[in-house]
Amino acid sequence: MNRQKSFENDNATLYLIATPIGNLNEMTFRSVEILKSINYIAAEDTRNTIKLLNHFDISTKLISHHEHNLISSIPKIIDLLKDGNNIALVSDAGYPAISDPGYELVQEVISNGFNVVPISGANACLNALVVSGICPQPFLFYGFLSHQDKKKKKELEKLKNYEETIVFYEAPHRIKKTLVLMKDIFGNRNICLARELTKKHEEINRGTIEEIIDVVDTMKGEMVIVVEGCTNVEEIVTFEQSIEEHVNEYIQTGMSTKDAIKEVSRQRNISKNIVYQEYHKKIK
User: Per-residue pLDDT tens for 6-62?
Assistant: 999 999 999 999 999 999 999 999 999 999 999 999 999 999 999 999 999 999 999
Looking at residue 263, its pLDDT comes to 87
Q: Compute the distance between CA of residue 197 and CA of residue 241 in angstroms, rounded to an integer.
A: 47
Domain layout of the chain by residue ranges: 13-122, 125-234, 237-283
Mean pLDDT over residues 270-281, rounded?
Answer: 82
Q: What is the dihedral sign for C-alpha 28, 30, 31, 36?
A: positive
Overall CATH class of domain 125-234: alpha beta
pLDDT at residue 152, rounded to an integer: 95
Q: What is the predicted pLDDT for the residue at 233?
A: 55
Reported for 43-46, long-range contacts at CB under 8 A and 24+ positions apart, including other chains, are: 43/90, 43/91, 44/90, 44/91, 44/92, 44/96, 44/100, 44/101, 45/92
Predicted confidence (pLDDT) per residue in 135-155, tens digit = 999 999 999 999 999 999 999
Homologous superfamily, domain 13-122: Tetrapyrrole methylase, N-terminal domain (3.40.1010.10)
Q: Is the pTM of this model over 0.85?
A: no
Please choose, from the candidates 123, 165, 33, the residue with its C-alpha nearest in 3D space to the C-alpha of residue 86. Answer: 33
Quick one: pLDDT at residue 282?
59
Positive or negative, the CA dihedral 274, 276, 277, 280 is positive
Q: What DSSP character marks residue 188? A: S
